[in-house]
């Protein structure tokens, strides 16, 4: 039996287990939408295509599935680019389906035509322009396979209008095999024996884990490994949740706004085990001073991240979970001697650093943003799924909301996109309807995709938005304060909407705290109110995020307060 391209697409999506699509219709995809509503796939109509991609991104992170978007050609497609680039930098598996003008018009500057495959080539893991209805099923299957396998990432499928309407026989290969694409999951065992030897020899080892641990679902394996080998653990921003923040071996986050103990450990360690990280410049600072005394072991599924930024003694190409599973087996058989004794000096030194410079602030006068986050942590008992916008709000959240589990902290790490937090909260809430989802935002960022409040209302997604209103583009203002002699060039945002009234205008509840004494009250009320909620906290205007490593400096040179 022959089916139309649109019917074929829906069939493949169902087979791929898609139950939710974030999207926005238009002329080029009207046929796809016409078929979509005949299925039981849930469609979330966002208010801006960028929101659709961020939501799909967060949906993927919260559910572990591939996130899916559907948008129209031209402007619909270009609006997805920021979201795609963010998912690419953070290695999040999503499939973005874009409509395209009919094949015979491609290249003619037709109405709403854009070369989206060309535009997104550098920021997708792979992309396709579908040539005919006959290949549609295979291409879409491949897209999902590529998105979720190996180092995950976004894949875009551009479908011309005629392909959606043409008839073809539904024929799809059971197993996708691409001769030019074979990710390495199994690490080289010889290398792993060397890793164990180095773990045994090391006096001052540390683990530096990243988003790759979360993506491969290696949280438990990592925790077991660190505990058994008695190695303290730090993570990148993307790695928060890869290791429980309540564990005594937890060092806190590393990098530009990392903890003192974590950054100091990098200078003193003699072995650093990087797992699912890419040694980003926001982490390493000046690279030739980073972990300068240490041998570096680097475990990653993507060979290109190994030796890209730092020299590596033992490269291990493989999936984090598979690799850590093997390492745990080898560790169980290894004679580790008295590890507690061996590590005690090192762990003691770290404890000293912890006591010397804890994360701290003074809550007096105006509301300190850190205080809001501490209260939020307390009142949610650390159980919420947290999404963030970008800037100081993001960093304070990373520092003060202690993350226990993977999928619990959702942020645009690599690209750092303002406007991510609210649509991400929507995506996470769709994936986890019974969980408490909180978006922590700055007054600047929240205005970038505030229109998604309407989406939250339409689908009754009870996301709770915490706005830390400092009247500035705070993080940029902080740089201006510290490195530009307080010349606050264009970072004052004097005119924000009345966020409480804005919430009400969307039909949601709004709360505001202007004094420290009101903070706990507002959070409690906001969290227990039904439906979407905005909680605005008018905070100390010129508060800075500390510690801070100036860009390009060694990460041990921290400004502490």
Ligand X SMILES: Cc1ncc(C[n+]2csc(CCOP(=O)(O)OP(=O)(O)O)c2C)c(N)n1
The structure tokens 């894949």 sit at 155
Task: Choose one: 45-53, 128-136, 335-343, 441-449; the region binding ligand X (CB under 6 A).
Answer: 441-449
Residue 554 structure tokens: 């060694």
From 49, 374, 389, 540, the catalytic residue: 49
Smallest gap from residue 235 Cβ to other proteins (A) = 24
Q: Which of residues 275-314 bind other proteins (CB under 8 A)?
A: 302-304, 307-308
* Partner interacting with residue 181 (select from other proteins, ligand X, none; CB below 5-8 Å by kind): other proteins
Residue 475 is among the residues annotated as catalytic for this protein: yes
Smallest gap from residue 191 Cβ to ligand X (A) = 38
CB 84 within 8 Å of CB 120: yes
Residue 383 structure tokens: 């159980």
Q: Of residues 59, 250, 279, 472, which one binds ligand X by CB under 6 A?
A: 472
- In 235-298, alpha helices (H): 260-268, 281-284
Q: Which of residues 111-130 bind other proteins (CB under 8 A)?
A: 117-118, 121-122, 125-126, 129
CB 520 within 8 Å of CB 379: yes
From 10, 448, 453, 475, the catalytic residue: 475
Q: Which 3-state string (H, E, C) describes 350-371?
A: HHHHHHHCCCCCCCCCCECHHH
Q: Of 22, 129, 112, nearest to 73 (Cα)? A: 112
Residue 111 is among the residues annotated as catalytic for this protein: yes
From 65, 125, 161, 464, the catalytic residue: 161
Residue 413 binds to ligand X (criterion: CB under 6 A)? no
Q: Which of residues 356-395 bind ligand X (CB under 6 A)?
A: 389-393
Cα(482)–Cα(75) distance, rounded to whole angstroms?
Answer: 39
Residue 181 binds to other proteins (criterion: CB under 8 A)? yes
State which residue, 210 or 474, has the beta carbon closest to ligand X.
Answer: 474
Smallest gap from residue 312 Cβ to other proteins (A) = 11
Smallest gap from residue 173 Cβ to ligand X (A) = 40
Smallest gap from residue 439 Cβ to other proteins (A) = 32
Q: Is the dihedral of CA 106, 112, 36, 70 positive or negative?
A: positive
Cα(284)–Cα(209) distance, rounded to whole angstroms?
Answer: 13
Q: What burial class does residue 349 get, using C-beta atoms within 10 Å of its C-beta: 0-12 exposed, 13-18 middle, 19+ buried?
A: middle
Cα(561)–Cα(557) distance, rounded to whole angstroms?
Answer: 12
- What is the per-residue binding string for ligand X in 99-138, x denoting contact by CB under 6 A? ----------------------------------------
Cα(312)–Cα(361) distance, rounded to whole angstroms?
Answer: 38
Smallest gap from residue 263 Cβ to ligand X (A) = 21
Smallest gap from residue 311 Cβ to other proteins (A) = 9
Residue 537 is among the residues annotated as catalytic for this protein: no
Cα(382)–Cα(386) distance, rounded to whole angstroms?
Answer: 10
Task: Choose one: 97-105, 134-142, 466-474, 516-524; the region binding ligand X (CB under 6 A).
Answer: 466-474
Within 59-153, strands assigned E span: 67-71, 94-100, 126-129
Cα(380)–Cα(378) distance, rounded to whole angstroms?
Answer: 6
Smallest gap from residue 401 Cβ to ligand X (A) = 14
User: Residue 86: enclosing H or E segment and its boundaries?
Assistant: helix 81-89
Nearest residue to ligand X on Cβ basis = 442
Task: Choose one: 55-63, 303-311, 373-381, 417-425; the region binding ligand X (CB under 6 A).
Answer: 417-425
Taking the CA atoms of residue 506, residue 461, residue 34 and residue 120 in that order, the dihedral angle to the nearest 10 degrees is 90
Q: Are strands 167-169 and 2-4 parallel, antiparallel or unpaired?
A: antiparallel
Residue 195 structure tokens: 């890793």
* Partner interacting with residue 433 (select from other proteins, ligand X, none; CB below 5-8 Å by kind): none
Q: Of 276, 271, 264, nearest to 230 (Cα)? A: 271
Task: Choose one: 129-137, 168-176, 306-314, 465-473; the region binding ligand X (CB under 6 A).
Answer: 465-473
State which residue, 492 or 528, has the beta carbon closest to ligand X.
Answer: 492
Residue 538 binds to ligand X (criterion: CB under 6 A)? no
Cite the active site residues. 49, 111-112, 161, 475
Q: Which residues bind ligand X (CB under 6 A)?
A: 389-393, 416-419, 442-445, 468, 470, 472-476
Q: Which residues bind other proteins (CB under 8 A)?
A: 117-118, 121-122, 125-126, 129, 146, 178-181, 302-304, 307-308
């Amino acid at each position: 039996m022959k089916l139309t391209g649109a019917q074929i697409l829906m069939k493949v999506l169902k087979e791929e287990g898609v139950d939710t699509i974030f999207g926005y219709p238009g002329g080029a995809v009207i046929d796809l939408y016409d078929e979509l509503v005949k299925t039981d796939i849930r469609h979330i109509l966002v208010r801006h295509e960028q929101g659709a991609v961020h939501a799909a991104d967060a949906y993927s992170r919260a559910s572990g599935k591939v996130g899916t978007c559907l948008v129209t050609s031209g402007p619909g497609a270009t609006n997805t680019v920021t979201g795609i680039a963010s998912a690419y930098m953070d290695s999040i598996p999503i499939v973005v389906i874009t409509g395209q003008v009919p094949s015979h018009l491609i290249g003619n500057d037709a109405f709403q035509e854009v070369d989206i495959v060309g535009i997104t080539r550098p920021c997708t893991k792979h992309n396709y322009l579908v040539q005919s209805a006959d290949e549609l099923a295979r291409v879409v299957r491949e897209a999902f396979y590529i998105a979720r396998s190996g180092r995950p990432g976004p894949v875009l499928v551009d479908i011309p209008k005629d392909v959606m309407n043409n008839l073809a026989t539904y024929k799809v290969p059971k197993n996708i095999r691409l001769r030019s694409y074979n990710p390495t999951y199994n690490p080289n065992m010889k290398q792993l024996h060397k890793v164990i030897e180095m773990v045994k020899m090391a006096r001052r080892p540390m683990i530096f884990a990243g988003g790759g641990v979360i993506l491969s679902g290696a949280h438990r394996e990592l925790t077991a490994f660190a505990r058994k080998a008695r190695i303290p653990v730090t993570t990148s921003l993307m790695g928060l949740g890869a290791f429980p923040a309540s564990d005594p071996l937890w060092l806190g986050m590393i990098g530009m706004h990392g903890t003192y103990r974590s950054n100091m450990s990098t200078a003193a360690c003699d072995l650093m085990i990087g797992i699912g990280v890419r040694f980003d410049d926001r982490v390493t600072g000046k690279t030739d001073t980073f972990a300068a005394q240490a041998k570096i072991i680097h475990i990653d599924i993507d060979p290109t991240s190994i030796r890209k930024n730092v020299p590596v003694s033992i490269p291990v190409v493989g999936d984090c979970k598979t690799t850590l599973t093997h390492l745990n087996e080898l560790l169980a058989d290894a004679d580790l001697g008295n590890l507690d004794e061996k590590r005690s000096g090192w762990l003691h030194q770290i404890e000293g650093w912890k006591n010397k410079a804890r994360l701290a602030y003074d809550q007096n006068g105006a509301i300190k943003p850190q205080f809001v986050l501490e209260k939020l942590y307390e009142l949610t008992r650390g159980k919420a799924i947290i999404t963030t916008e970008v800037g100081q709000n993001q960093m304070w959240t990373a520092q003060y909301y202690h993350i226990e589990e993977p999928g619990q902290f959702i942020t645009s790490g690599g690209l750092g996109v303002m406007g991510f937090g609210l649509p991400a909260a929507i995506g996470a809430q769709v994936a986890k309807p019974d969980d408490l989802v909180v978006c922590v935002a700055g007054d600047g960022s929240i205005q970038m995709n505030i229109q998604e409040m309407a989406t939250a209302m339409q689908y009754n997604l009870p996301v709770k938005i915490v706005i830390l209103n400092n009247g500035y583009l705070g993080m940029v203002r902080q740089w201006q304060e510290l490195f530009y002699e307080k010349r606050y060039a264009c970072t004052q945002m004097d005119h924000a909407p009345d966020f409480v009234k804005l919430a009400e205008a969307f039909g949601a509840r709004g709360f505001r705290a202007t004094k420290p004494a009101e903070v706990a009250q507002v959070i409690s009320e906001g969290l227990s109110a039904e439906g979407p909620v905005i909680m605005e906290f008018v905070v100390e205007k010129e508060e800075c995020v500390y510690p801070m490593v100036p860009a390009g400096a060694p990460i041990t040179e921290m400004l502490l307060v």
